[in-house]
Structure 1
Amino acid sequence: MKNGLILVLFAFMTISGCNTATQNESTAYDDRIDGIFTGFDDANKPGAAVAVVKDGEIVFKKGYGSANMEYDIPVTPSTVFHIASVSKQFTVFAILLLAEEGKLNFDDDIRKHIPEVPDFGKTITLRHLAAHTSGLRDQWNLLALAGWRLDDVITKEHVMKLVAAQNELNFDPGEEFTYSNTGFTLLAETVARVSGQSFAEFTKARVFDPLGMSSTLFYDDHEKIVKNRSYSYYNTGNGYKKSVLSYANVGATSLFTTVEDLSLWAMNFETPKVGSKEIIEQMNTLAQLNNGETFGGAYGQFVGDYKGLKQIQHGGADAGYRTYLARFPDQKFAVAVFSNYADANPGALALRVADVFLGDQMTTEQQEQAAIPDFITLSEEDMGSFAGSYWNESGVYARKIYFKNDTLRYFRGENNESPLMPIDQNTFQMLNVEVDLKVKFEEKGDKKTMIVTIDNGDPIVSEQFEPLDYSRADLAGFTGVFYSDELSTAYTLIMRNDSLIATHPRHSDFSLTPIKEDMFSADRWYFGNVRFERNLDNSISGFRVSSGRVRNLLFEKEED
């Protein structure tokens, strides 16, 4: 009996000791993750939620800060967020479910299912749409050019009418990768038409309910009440304001979910309860261009390395919502980070969480390769020597480099600039971006070139130029009313204080700055650069706008 009692006590102590060790390990993780989210752990600020999946279960979940600042409602792991473009992987998944059932083919022409998509003379497949290689202009840029604010109520019908009015593509399908939200709106509409259900109904019945994602829905009605939802905010410098979102369109965006529910989705990639391993494999496979090259994009996701580990991820940003889901399939690990604060960087936060759990699986060499390089000190004179305007001919855009507050800055347009920190005499690291982006300056004759590399990819070269100095009389030749049939809208160009000004009934006025002959630049994200076209008599006939995800959109000059 005594020996038996000793054995029982020994067993109890052993079990107790194991539990204590596990508890200590868990507490250590908790403390380190809490440290990552210190900046959000304030009831008077917008917040964040995080969940970590390891080996098929949630091993950590927590909320920080405020989900609703007007009513002091805290963020919890059960708080519902709009997760923006993280929605896209669900849209591809829905298409592949129907393909597996033989109801459509991933290589179908989109016009087979949505005949009102214009015939551009080139076949656009569902695969092209899912890989951002369709050439279709982006819906948000088009809407903004047409005079919409992104906090307007924007419905599926609005987007579909805009698509139906397009006359041109950015490029031939499959030739390039350019991110296009339009393609995913069309994919969601394809699911609806083939299944006979709304996209929200189909995904609820076929994905969310089977996975137990009880707080998840595609939000296709801007007036719908959603329990436990968060609202988004931005900082004005003098306090916070609401960042309003009234979307009523789905596919490219508008998934409402929690970090808990999204964890169930992440687990489905490892052990499919919905869909098949073949669907998962297809979604994770890198897409190819017509020339056989890959570009880091899969289908509704992006594939790359983080500190030597394979990462499959997507981020999202609408209004003040910022979201990120990262999966590390070889480690059976995933992390989701949501925030309702426009200045949040959930990708960086998620990867710091990944460091906590997976750091010991990265070799020293891999960690050094991924580390941000040491910065050096350059004089104001040295950094100022790189200031100027730079033109990229292939991308048809201008960038400005200028020195401000002891820092060199890379300026893309209104409220869109990034600081550059020197890592050698001519090379700079860009801060506050989710990629490894370096900017190098080189002399080319009497001018400089600016070479941008992203994640050690192909260099993007821009040449320094001096913006053309038009006289007032010359600028007056560009004035008039310019109308777009594709957008059903017009801009009026006028002279004001010796400057060429663009006006629109729904937008604030903005100036057009001369770059080169007949080429101007605007400081609006949606307007970009303007190339004027002329008649045989050399008079202005119209202009074409290029703004990143929209190229060469024609506005014709109306007769006086």
Structure 2
Amino acid sequence: MKRLFVVLLAWFSFVVSFKTQAQNFVTDSLDNYVRQGMKDWNLPGLAIAIIKDGKVVAMKGYGVRDIKTKEPVDENTLFLIASNSKLFTATALAQLDYDKKLSLNDKITKYFPDYKLYDANTTNLVTIKDLLSHHLGTGTFQGDFTFWNGNLSRRQIMAKMKLLKPAQQFRQSFGYCNSCFLTAGEVIPLVAGKPWENYVQDSLLTPLGMTNTYTLGKGAAQRKDVAKPYSTVFTGKLSELPYDLVDNLAPAGSLVSNVKDLSKWLLLQLDSGRYMGKRILPWSVLQKTREMNTVISSTKSSVYPSHYTGYGLGVFQRDYNGRQVFYHTGGADGFVTNTCFVPEEKLGIVILTNNDNQEFFEALRYQILDAYLDVPYINRSKQALQVFKPQFEASVAKVKAMQARVKGNAPSLPIPKYVGTYINELYGPISIVQNGKDLQVNFSGHATLKAKLQYMDNGEWLLTYNNPAFGIFPLQFKIDQNKVVSTFIKVNDFIDYDPYLFVKVDDKKPGV
């Protein structure tokens, strides 16, 4: 009996110690940790909400939403949450599956008979569930240079997907695909009689009282209390970016929200589809989104207490010190965000930030998980910074070295030889025109995107986009028999990993 008492006492002490660790971090250490992290990572603003046991135990804004006006971030400050929109799309489709309006196993050609992918067998087999699970076999972000912030309509994007040549096997690999989520989301108007944005508003946002969440990004810059987007990528300096406009990819990432509203979404996830005691969604709907459809990794992490990572429908999942954690991140130009929930612990976390070139938003999430899931303390921000900082400094140094090579040297051919129209089958045409001693690239697929080409040396030019989010890169032209044949054009990996081959189609000089 005494032995049992000792064991129970030890267990009680462990539980109290565990709860104290979590409470102490949130109540005593969170503010200092966040402020130091924001300083270390050059982060203008951050908003966070933590939910535990059915209550919001922390909800706060830090820093500023605008570095010029110094207007502060608070719980109502709006951020573009990008791919955190995906679980809303998947949940809406799972609800329609529950209502027998569709089946997640329906082939997509049932709804779009003319829909085609690169491979005919994939076209004939691909289902709504495949699209929501990133099963297409394409590479991560493949095609997004063409689609992201572009001029194409939703249906035009779907039509272009047949040009995405898979680098992997259908249903055998994970390739993160925004155009897949768009395609799945476009089934909604066909079965529900209203566009994706209206259905998500009516079935999810309004019932949850998410009154300051917007399904489309159009007009975000004019909304009250919206954070401005910033980045330090390529130059090392905090630069303001244009707001993304990805409403043509809306089901994949157009939502604009704040931590106050997103805490309601997490409370629903943690209460089996209920909010404030009211049933909003059947539990089976949430279950469908959480079933693992794609194994991403089954290798033990060397950094975190985790052994596997997978993907359900619009949500990642992994084990973390013995608990099942569901999460997603969202990256828009100038914003990186995450949402996370641990049903076994009734724990939810949402973090929104307005500098896209930092990993503090993730380090903070893991720090909170460590505190609540009894992981021995290690400063996750400092740990991540040790890896990030040398890579970041090397990237900035590389750009500065290229800029220093612009010295007025003359290219191998006269400037007019480079002028003309160039075409990539997926993207379409671009025009290269003369701009004084330099060249300028005009991108027909984007309303305002341009790039400056300055000759460096050894056949290399410096490509600098007018939108800093797209990046700064070296560029070479392929020249054959004194004629320009083609060039590869690269954008920031944050947008698309693949370079695009553009082939010159004429020697005529188009208008500027």
Same fold (TM over 0.5): yes
Does 1:280 find its partner at 2:286?
yes
Q: 1:99 aligns with which of 97, 100, 114?
A: 97
Following superposition, the deviation at residue 94 of structure 1 comes to 0.9
- TM-score, normalized by length of structure 2? 0.67
Judge conservation of contact 1:88–1:253 (CA < 8 Å) in 2: yes
Amino acid corresponding to residue 277 of structure 1 in structure 2:
W
Following superposition, the deviation at residue 288 of structure 1 comes to 3.3
Following superposition, the deviation at residue 115 of structure 1 comes to 4.4
1:12-411 equivalence runs, <5 A? 29-39=26-36, 46-115=44-113, 117-120=115-118, 121=120, 122-123=122-123, 124-135=126-137, 138-143=142-147, 150=149, 154=150, 157-171=152-166, 173-219=170-216, 221-222=218-219, 226-234=223-231, 241=240, 243-249=242-248, 250-270=250-270, 271-273=272-274, 274-288=280-294, 296-344=310-358, 345-358=360-373, 361-362=374-375, 409=394
Cα distance change, pair 308–552 in 1 and its aligned pair in 2 (3 A): same
Following superposition, the deviation at residue 83 of structure 1 comes to 1.0
For residues 540 and 242 of structure 1, what CA distance do their matches in structure 2 show? 33
For residues 70 and 408 of structure 1, what CA distance do their matches in structure 2 show? 25
For residues 231 and 369 of structure 1, what CA distance do their matches in structure 2 show? 26
Instruction: Give me the CA root mean square deviation.
Output: 5.1
Bigger helix share = 2
Following superposition, the deviation at residue 283 of structure 1 comes to 1.6
Judge conservation of contact 2:220–2:243 (CA < 8 Å) in 1: no
Following superposition, the deviation at residue 510 of structure 1 comes to 5.3
Following superposition, the deviation at residue 489 of structure 1 comes to 0.8
When Rg is computed on C-alpha atoms for both structures, the one with the higher figure is 1
Cα distance change, pair 312–27 in 1 and its aligned pair in 2 (3 A): closer
For residues 357 and 180 of structure 1, what CA distance do their matches in structure 2 show? 32
Judge conservation of contact 1:413–1:523 (CA < 8 Å) in 2: no
For residues 138 and 239 of structure 1, what CA distance do their matches in structure 2 show? 28
Judge conservation of contact 1:49–1:338 (CA < 8 Å) in 2: yes
Cα distance change, pair 223–183 in 1 and its aligned pair in 2 (3 A): same
For residues 508 and 29 of structure 1, what CA distance do their matches in structure 2 show? 46
Does 1:558 find its partner at 2:502?
no
For residues 369 and 46 of structure 1, what CA distance do their matches in structure 2 show? 19
Cα distance change, pair 240–550 in 1 and its aligned pair in 2 (3 A): closer
For residues 370 and 341 of structure 1, what CA distance do their matches in structure 2 show? 15
The farther-off stretch of 503-512 and 75-84 is: 503-512
Judge conservation of contact 1:530–1:544 (CA < 8 Å) in 2: yes
Judge conservation of contact 2:309–2:318 (CA < 8 Å) in 1: no
For residues 501 and 292 of structure 2, what CA distance do their matches in structure 1 show? 34
Secondary structure of the structure 2 residue equivalent to 1:317: strand
Cα distance change, pair 511–257 in 1 and its aligned pair in 2 (3 A): same
Secondary structure of the structure 2 residue equivalent to 1:210: coil
Following superposition, the deviation at residue 116 of structure 1 comes to 5.3
Following superposition, the deviation at residue 205 of structure 1 comes to 1.3
Following superposition, the deviation at residue 323 of structure 1 comes to 0.8
- TM-score, normalized by length of structure 1? 0.62
Structure-1 residue corresponding to 2:13: none
Bigger strand share = 1
Structure 2: segments with no counterpart, 5+ residues: 1-18, 275-279, 300-307, 401-410, 444-448, 508-512
Structure 1: segments with no counterpart, 5+ residues: 1-21, 145-149, 377-402, 416-470, 514-519
**Identical positions, percent:** 21
Amino acid corresponding to residue 266 of structure 2 in structure 1:
A
1:412-427 equivalence runs, <5 A? none
Following superposition, the deviation at residue 80 of structure 1 comes to 2.3
Following superposition, the deviation at residue 299 of structure 1 comes to 1.8
Amino acid corresponding to residue 326 of structure 1 in structure 2:
C
Amino acid corresponding to residue 362 of structure 1 in structure 2:
V
For residues 356 and 338 of structure 2, what CA distance do their matches in structure 1 show? 13
For residues 24 and 521 of structure 1, what CA distance do their matches in structure 2 show? 52
Structure-2 residue corresponding to 1:436: none
Following superposition, the deviation at residue 96 of structure 1 comes to 0.8
